Amino acid sequence: MDLKAEIEKRTREEIEKLISRAERVKNREIESALSRKQQIVEDERKKVDDKLKEELQKARSNLELEYRLKLLKFKDRLISSIIAEVQQELQNLPRDEKYLLFLKKILQEVKTIPEDKKIIISLNQTDLNNYKDIISQELAEREIEFQPADIWGGIIIKVREQNFKINASLENLLSSLTDDIRDKIMLELENA
């Protein structure tokens, strides 16, 4: 073989090796680029999915909160309506034997006040007209001053010298029970 042919053969072999190596490097780079591209696509898809889940969760939470607020407002309106009905019933409470017993029971508290103290009894005008004589008989041994009061019913008893006051007016009794009434109604609504 001649030298020129040998050089050409080796050159071709080297060129083929270089081309083969370059082809492998190219294929590796393409695979690596495709893999990176796939990873980027997956990362972006995951970001989009996570963002979508976050937005859905936020929307769900907002809807749940809005629902709870509407439910609470409804319950509050219902409770206020029930309390208004109770108030109306108290304002129209029949002045019967039970009512008189209620007044007499409150008057029992007066017996704890020293007898030398003047007692001021306040009633609404209707009750004052109907029960003044009965109350005077119940507390015959006491000095009593009667005063009309702007209340639905019930009785207010005061002793000025002792800074003593019993407010058993119907609106005061309702006011003192309103929170308890609200709690009981709310509990009933939640259990329904």
Beta strands in the chain (DSSP E): 119-123, 144-148, 154-159, 164-169
Classify 126 as helix, strand or coil: helix
- 87 and 103 fall within a common domain: no
Q: How far apart are CA 188 and CA 16, in angstroms?
A: 89
Cα within 13 Å of Cα(158), Cβ side? 13
Tell me how many domains the chain contains: 2
Query: Is 123 in contact with 131 (CB distance < 8 Å)?
Result: yes
Predicted confidence at residue 128, as pLDDT, reads 96
Predicted confidence at residue 1, as pLDDT, reads 60
Instruction: Give bridge partners of residue 164 from the DSSP assignment.
Output: 159
The residue behind tokens 């019993």 is: 166
- 20 and 41 fall within a common domain: yes
- 75 and 123 fall within a common domain: no
Look up the domain containing 39 and give its range.
Answer: 1-92
pTM of the model: 0.63
The residue behind tokens 């008989």 is: 137
- 151 and 129 fall within a common domain: yes
> Is the pLDDT reported for residue 105 higher than 90?
yes
- 166 and 135 fall within a common domain: yes
Predicted confidence at residue 111, as pLDDT, reads 81
Q: What is the mean pLDDT of residues 100-123?
A: 90
Predicted confidence at residue 179, as pLDDT, reads 86
* pLDDT tens-digit readout, 141-190: 889 999 999 999 999 999 978 888 999 999 999 998 888 888 888 888 78
Which CATH number belongs to the domain containing residue 116 in this structure? Answer: 3.30.2320.30
- 35 and 122 fall within a common domain: no
* pLDDT tens-digit readout, 119-128: 999 999 999 9
Please give the angle made by the CA atoms of 85, 88 and 93, to the nearest 5 degrees. Answer: 125
